[in-house]
Structure 1
């Protein structure tokens, strides 16, 4: 069975080029240029994976992704020219499965699509369903973060110390100063990249290990927040 891909890209030349490449690679591709076309195709012939640009005319890609995630378990791969960290964090917080920035090798995109489809169509619930059905679990004594699908991710000491204040107060922003102090580190420049780098690497590690985007997102001007459901187990 072929993988149904809906490509949403407003640049006509790039859209047609990418559509041609993915079709030649054996994927079943439908391409549209805006969110209205996306909504129409989602109703008419729901795809397995949506490849979504963010800079769309009319409704932007992040808003479209949020609508999809609220109503569907479709796989979402963002492919955008937006390289700002905040855009990536916002997309992952919404629940997109992958965030790729242009220029991207089309062959890499094909692999991302195929791997995502395999994960979504595997036995058991999809990642989106698992997010709704089960929380994350933080095992402090074992130094383990357990994904909603029950996959354990072993943490380093620094990762444990950074996550602990976040998971103990889910939904509440924790300041950069408090996070670094809890980790026993000095970060004299509150706008520096020390903490950002730790969290970036932790997100990448968790997603690679269990296939879930870690819901630790930036709270602008405040710090970071764990924006998901989590059970904190100190023992």
Structure 2
């Protein structure tokens, strides 16, 4: 079964999640702050992180930034603060999901299993790792996008959104559909999460032979006719 790192500065939460996840068959390692995790990663690597935001020393968001510089391992962020800014920032930094405390351990398990199911579906569906669309090259195995052989510096979610649109050129998607597809659940926000991400992608794709265009009153698509 997958190995899960649980990082939280509250002992009782670590104990509860460890007990519940082990009961579900997961291998679990627990840590009280980000510094312990960075040390542990020198010798072992999990299949998923459950990461609290508010911790001493290296907090959750800083740890997430560091993790995403070297890894695309799934991360579920948890926080006692139910603030939209925290949620958007966590997702933009590359978190795969976000839960607000207090939450049900059962709900956490469901979300973890959903993440692994999505990973399995993606891997099974990758009949071709390389996609070329005009002067843009997508390497799904390396999670890499190049324009005229120049690699784009993308965050994990920027890559996910761009790769999804490139693989469906000309097909429009609503903001809600993009969030549901990329993050795996319905995001009850105002769409700013996707709007801001697309704005950043357009700047990074200024030398591409096509762009992400707005379908007014609906969402976004790759303009394959550009």
TM-score bracket, shorter-length normalisation: 0.5 to 0.7
Q: Equivalents in 1 of 2:5, 2:32: separation in Å?
A: 11
Distance in 1 between residues matched to 2:2 and 2:99, nearest whole Å: 19
Name structure 2 gaps, 5 residues minimum. Answer: 130-138, 148-160, 206-210, 213-222
Could you say if the C-alpha distance between residues 97 and 127 of structure 1 is closer, same or farther in structure 2, counting changes exceeding 3 Å? farther
SS in 2 for 1:29: strand
Q: TM-score, normalised by structure 2?
A: 0.65
Alpha-carbon distance, 1:111 to partner = 1.4
Q: Which has the higher contact order (CA 8 A, sep 6+)?
A: 1
Higher mean C-alpha displacement, 121-130 vs 49-58: 121-130
CA distance in 2, matches of 1:155, 1:206: 6
Q: What is the CA–CA distance in structure 1 between the aligned matches of 2:141 and 2:101, rounded to whole Å?
A: 26
Matches within 5 A, 1:143-182: 147-149=162-164, 150=167, 154-155=172-173
| Aligned partner of residue 67 in structure 1, secondary structure | helix
Structure 1: state its 5+ residue gaps. 136-145, 157-201
Alignment of 1:67-82 (within 5 A): 67-82=66-81
- Contact 1:49/1:74 (8 A) holds in 2: yes
Equivalence map 1:47-86=2 (5 Å): 47-86=46-85
Aligned equivalent of 2:178: 206
Corresponding pairs, count: 173
TM-score by length of 1: 0.63
- In 1: Cα distance, 2:200 partner to 2:22 partner: 37
1:40-92 deviations in whole A, cap 9, x for unaligned?
A: 22222100000000001111110100100111111111011121111111111
Q: Render the CA deviation track for 1:160-200: whole Å, top value 9, x for unaligned.
A: xxxxxxxxxxxxxxxxxxxxxxxxxxxxxxxxxxxxxxxxx
User: Corresponding residue for 1:4?
Assistant: 3
Coordinate RMSD, CA, aligned: 3.3
Q: Which residue in the other structure is 2:145 paired with?
A: 133
Q: Give the distance between the partners of 2:103 and 2:146, measured in 1 at CA.
A: 33
